Amino acid sequence: MTIRLLPSSIRWAHEFSDHADVALFPQEQTDIANSEHDRHAGFATVRPLARAAPDDLGQVSLPPGERGAPVWPTGVAGSMTRGAGYRAVAVTVAHASDVLTIGVDAEPDAPLPDGVLDTIARPEEHVSLPSTTGTAWDRTLFIAEESVDKAWCPPARTQLNADRATVSIAADGTFTAHILVPGPPTEIIGRWTTSNGLIATAITVYRDNAAPDDEECT
């Protein structure tokens, strides 16, 4: 389902189940050795997906950075999601596609637990959620915020918390994030979809309208 959200220049791969017998690079194995089973399984499943997705990436180690996001090789833009029941990766060789950064996320299409929306949504986000039935709009907002955070590339490489952006969800399958801190981009447009009991979001940010060439995303 991720393919519906991404341009043709971005390679993608996904799985609906985990693979327990995946061989990891030594650094990856060390980083994940003491993790809980579910995180270990997701980590081990999505790394081979990333290595196999683009022809140019090859067999490289993808250790987690400070915030857990994979450290991509120089010149590669990518994003992973390891939500319950769905593992996916989107990758592109940045210089060949003019893509600066990507953000993807997915979770089950179910309402957030009571009280969570109030902690992740600004008042204007809460009020602007679509009122139609059939989709867990609060969960869609949460997933959209996660993909915005993954795609954000400030000079300091700081996390884009919920109070640093306002995300508006549209019922037509798009969402818009207005960034409230200095630095490009000031607006990020993404897409969302539902399928197989899941909600997925994706963002593609291009160099010509997003950030200067000397910035990198991790």
The model's pTM: 0.85
Phi-psi region of 173 (alpha: psi -120 to 50; beta: other; left: phi over 0): left
Local confidence band at 70 (pLDDT 50, 70, 90 cut-offs): confident
**Which comes out higher in pLDDT, residue 65 or 145?**
145
Rg (CA), the chain: 17
Q: Please enumerate in sequence order all residues whose Cβ is within 8 A of that of 164, keeping only pairs 6 or more positions apart, or say none.
A: 179, 180, 181
Q: Give me the pLDDT at residue 2, please.
A: 58
Give the mean model confidence (pLDDT) for residues 77-86.
Answer: 85
Which of 26-40, 47-61, 185-199 is predicted least confidently?
A: 47-61
pLDDT tens string 5-31: 988 888 888 988 887 677 788 888 888
pLDDT tens string 133-161: 889 999 999 999 999 988 875 333 556 76
Place of tokens 């690079």: 25
Give the mean model confidence (pLDDT) for residues 109-134.
Answer: 92
Q: Please enumerate in sequence order all residues whose Cβ is within 8 A of that of 201, keeping only pairs 6 or more positions apart, or say none.
A: 5, 103, 104, 105, 106, 140, 143, 144, 146, 147, 175, 190, 191, 192
Q: Give me the pLDDT at residue 96, please.
A: 67
What percentage of residues in the chain have a pLDDT greater than 90? 32
Q: Give me the pLDDT at residue 211, please.
A: 40
Place of tokens 């679509």: 130
* Domains of the chain by start residue, with CATH: 2-209 (3.90.470.20)
Give the mean model confidence (pLDDT) for residues 169-191.
Answer: 88
What percentage of residues in the chain have a pLDDT greater than 70? 83
Q: Give me the pLDDT at residue 209, please.
A: 53
Give the mean model confidence (pLDDT) for residues 81-92.
Answer: 86
- What average pLDDT is seen over the chain? 82
Q: Copy the structure tokens of residue 91.
A: 């990758």
Specify the DSSP class assigned to residue 16.
S
**Which comes out higher in pLDDT, residue 171 or 83?**
171
CB 113 within 8 A of CB 84: no
Residues 203 and 173: their CA atoms lie apart, in Å, by 12
